[in-house]
Structure 1
Amino acid sequence: MTESYLLILGDREAIAWVLGEQRMAFPRTARAEIERLTVGDELLIYATRGAFGNPTRDRGRVIGRAVVRSEVAALEQPVKFGEREFPRGCDLEVEALAPWGSGVELRPLVERLEAFPDTKSWSVRLRRPLLHLPQGDAELIGDALGPLAGALADNLGGYRARAGLTAPSKRSSDVTA
């Protein structure tokens, strides 16, 4: 049985890399949800409000939907963003992506989501790479995302531009941002 997760990304360069490479890289820390991730699991891609440098203006949004296409495994070469290394990863297939600046704002949905039992400190649960979503939560978010999202190829450019990337994405396991 497949599971659904919120894939939490807090850096614009990492977002552009994940979307462009259709891969995810995970930090060294042991997290149970990363170990449970399996082929076929659904990832609802969440960009934090601080991901694009202006948390007072920007809102945390679910911007896309992906499916896990390989097991999480050690990478031959860790992926690097700034000073951080991400030594494990998996392949994804990004099936839908909202245009830059749109997506499903999470805050208005929090009181309806089981994944956030404490609505006063809900954002604390977003300080990890993955958050397991009960099926009802995944359906609610997915239904809201559906009309906003289009094809990856149509919308990737906006995220790459925000990350300051202009060259086409190339699939590699060693990216230094």
Structure 2
Amino acid sequence: MSSYLLILGEREAVAWVLRESRMAFPPRSRREVAKLKVGDDMLIVTTRGCWHDPKRDRTRVIGLAEATTSVVAYDEPVKIAGRDFTRGCELNIEMLAPYLTGIELVPLIPQLDAFPDKREGVWPIRLRRPLLEISNADAQLLRQELTTISRDAATVIPEYLASIRPIQPRTRRK
């Protein structure tokens, strides 16, 4: 069994993942997506830009999910926040932190194997992908931290879905 960070950089994607209990992946081929298998754990991460207020928000681990199917190609692409996603897998979302909370990732970077280059401007580059495989030690540390604040996902998902609003297109002023 492998463990991953499942990285979400858009609030509409968070809502879709929680509502559908699925993860969708973009068309670009990635080794870690092809390697994902049933039973693999995914620690759900929201980036600081996910909630559209990067000055307020932080990159956080917000939940834990397990892949319940292999990654398969969709017959028709799924559109989320204006982007096409061509394949995906089913998830069992086990635990989830309350809305806009979670385990802040930055203080844990010095302890995490997933970020070998700890420099401030360098480590976030590793989060510019949908999945990042992590070591067993990283997974254990993040699971322990998450357990202290999370709840059963079924009790928290409604709060997320009620709070996340779709992005409204900007209208041009004349």
TM-score (norm. length: structure 1): 0.90
Q: Is the 8 A contact 2:12 2:81 kept in 1?
A: no
Provide the C-alpha distance between the structure 2 equivalents of 1:49 and 1:83, rounded to a whole number of angstroms.
19
Q: Which residue of 2 aligns with 1:26?
A: 25
**Cα offset, 1:160, TM superposition:** 1.4
Provide the secondary structure at the position in 2 that maps to 1:52. coil
- The one-letter code of the counterpart of 2:138 is D
Q: Given the alignment of the two structures, is residue 125 of structure 1 paired with residue 126 of structure 2, yes or no?
A: yes
In the other structure, the counterpart of 1:175 is: none
Cα distance, 1:125 vs structure 2: 0.3
Deviations 1:101-132 (A, max 9, x none): 21110000000001100011110100000000
Structure 2 partner of 1:14: 13
Q: Which ranges in structure 1 are unaligned for 5 or more consecutive residues?
A: 166-177
Partner of 1:112: 111
Does structure 2 retain, via aligned residues, the 8 Å contact 1:69–1:92? Answer: yes
C-alpha distance in 2 between matches for 1:82 and 1:12:
9
Pair member with larger Rg = 2
**AA at the equivalent of 1:110:** I
Aligned residue number for residue 169 of structure 1: none
User: d(CA) in 2 for partners of 1:83 and 1:51?
Assistant: 14
Shift of 1:141: 0.5
In structure 2, the gaps of 5 or more residues are: 167-174
Aligned twin of 1:43: 42
The 3-state SS of whatever aligns with 1:100 is coil
> What is the 5 A alignment of 1:86-101?
86-101=85-100
Identity of aligned residues (%): 49
Task: Report the Cα offset of residue 152 of structure 1.
Answer: 1.4
Say which SS state the counterpart of residue 109 (structure 1) adopts. helix
CA distance in 2, matches of 1:48, 1:3: 22
- The aligned counterpart of 1:159 is 160
Q: CA deviation at 1:78?
A: 1.4
- Residue matched to 1:140: 141
1:173 corresponds in structure 2 to none
- TM-score normalised over the length of structure 2: 0.91
> What is the CA-CA distance between 1:149 and the residue it aligns to?
0.8
| Aligned mates of 1:61, 1:82 — CA distance in 2 | 20
1:29 is paired with a residue whose SS is coil
Q: SS at the partner of 1:17? A: helix
Number of equivalenced pairs? 164
Partner of 2:172: none
- Deviating above 3 A after TM superposition, structure 1's stretches of 4 or more consecutive aligned residues are none
